[in-house]
A and B are shown apart, each in its own frame.
Chain A
């Protein structure tokens, strides 16, 4: 009974908070009219969102696609390199400063350069930005995950005369998986943000970021907000997918 109540509250409470916030926003803009007219009312945003659903969906597809592809490329390279670094010590020493350097690169600074490199009509630069942003958290977490097995567990597998693939499959990999998931979760939001922000700095005239920038500049703030709303949904979808991934991994682990 109490548990059920708690569970309902966990779902209901944020919905109520959101509704209250929305109501406050509505009152401030449409009823009291205290805020400057450049702040659109929730009504206006919803209208813009439904009216322009087609072009918003198109832009969403572009940006989400760039983010997803970047995330995939960045994560795969990170996993491969982290596995090599975990296997070959000197490689780890060589990679560490490079990874640290990549971690501090302000990725937006690279955008204009990439746009020139790959041409203003290609999405390549944006994908690459998302890939670079995704690489670092995945690499660092996977490398740490691959080193989680404790000496006593290594000794046990040695005592069982387990082969290297057996040790990897039954010890090293299951130990590392939660870390991989953490890395991907961090990387997924970074990928969305950087794919979006990269659009502010040129390239093809499509995508959510381009739309937000140009509509905000031209005074169509309600429409700009409608695109922001779409960006939030993209971020949420990425987050939910990582949650799903985590659930799958947990099930996989319990079978090994």
Chain B
């Protein structure tokens, strides 16, 4: 019941509100500033990519939203709640670059892990895990163990697991970073579809420009030393993102815009690969 009310409110409440956030690691004299002066608002259902070179604090920012780290200054809110409360209330689902699956659990058991921790009944868990396995295209592999799966399949399990609680916010830290280019593009297309279907807001950390443009409604461009937001690029390419979009002129135009925003940042550039 209360959950229903918060969903009603969600129309006005932004999914994420970050205000005046600084984050420093280490103690006073040796403190290293990871983020300074971060202000960011992400609407319900919005897909936002955080992009920038290594050390720009994009992963740190996501971890602050997830309440896996706490800001040194400023506030982080998720659907109007403090980040900590949002974590305790399971307002978000999360996936990392490493799938982090438990090797002694099958695909469906891994997907059901968060549900199990939150005391969802066995029957309901099994049904939900089954549906999610199908959603990510793994229904034929439901009883396999992680070491019997390819990297791409493991990452699908991780995404299905992130969706288990039907979160209104998905946090993803380079979830496709370890995949080969072809698998990666296929996963992007699927994620675009899943994001639309679940109507969840997504915060997606990446260092791939085409990936950020293909998936996002907005691309937040960040810069290191100290970590901060330098540009925000709107990507009004519609909610459905078909595969063909990758070859369209609008797509290339946005890729160029993000690239220029990244490289035009008035600081010394991070070493290119």
Contact = CB atoms under 8 A, between A and B. Distances in A.
Contacts of B113: 160, 170
A253 B102 CA distance: 10
B1 to A, nearest CB: 21
B189 interface: no
Contact of A171 (B92, B96, B102, B118): B102
B87 A159 contact: yes
Contacts of B68: 155, 158-159
Interface of B: 66, 68, 87-88, 90, 92, 94, 96, 98, 100, 102, 104-105, 113-114, 116-118
A150 B117 contact: no
A101 interface: no
Interface string A168-181: 00110010000000
Nearest to A163: B117
B100 A162 contact: no
Nearest to A157: B117
A162 B90 CA distance: 10
A104 interface: no
A50 B169 CA distance: 75
A254 B104 contact: yes
B118 A160 contact: yes
Interface string A183-197: 000000000000000
Contacts of A170: 102, 113, 116-117
Contacts of B114: 160
Contacts of A157: 117
B102 A174 contact: yes
Contacts of B102: 153, 170-171, 174
B160 to A, nearest CB: 13
Interface string A80-122: 0000000000000000000000000000000000000000000
Contact of A253 (B66, B90, B104, B117): B104
Contact of A152 (B92, B96, B104): B96
Interface string A226-256: 0000000000000000000000000001101
Contact of A160 (B96, B98, B104, B117): B117
A105 B130 CA distance: 55
Nearest to A171: B102
B100 A160 contact: no
A150 B87 contact: no
B118 A152 contact: no
26 contacts: A152-B96, A152-B98, A152-B100, A153-B100, A153-B102, A155-B68, A155-B94, A155-B100, A156-B94, A159-B68, A159-B92, A159-B94, A160-B90, A160-B114, A160-B117, A161-B87, A161-B90, A162-B117, A166-B117, A170-B117, A174-B104, A253-B104, A254-B104, A254-B105, A256-B104, A256-B105
Interface string A130-170: 00000000000000000000101101111111100010001
A165 to B, nearest CB: 11
A150 B118 contact: no
Contacts of A156: 94, 96, 100
Contacts of A155: 68, 94, 96, 100
Contacts of B116: 170
A254 B90 CA distance: 26
Q: Which 6 A-B pairs give the minimum distances between C-beta atoms?
A: A152-B100, A253-B104, A152-B98, A159-B94, A160-B114, A161-B88
Contacts of B92: 159
A162 B118 CA distance: 8
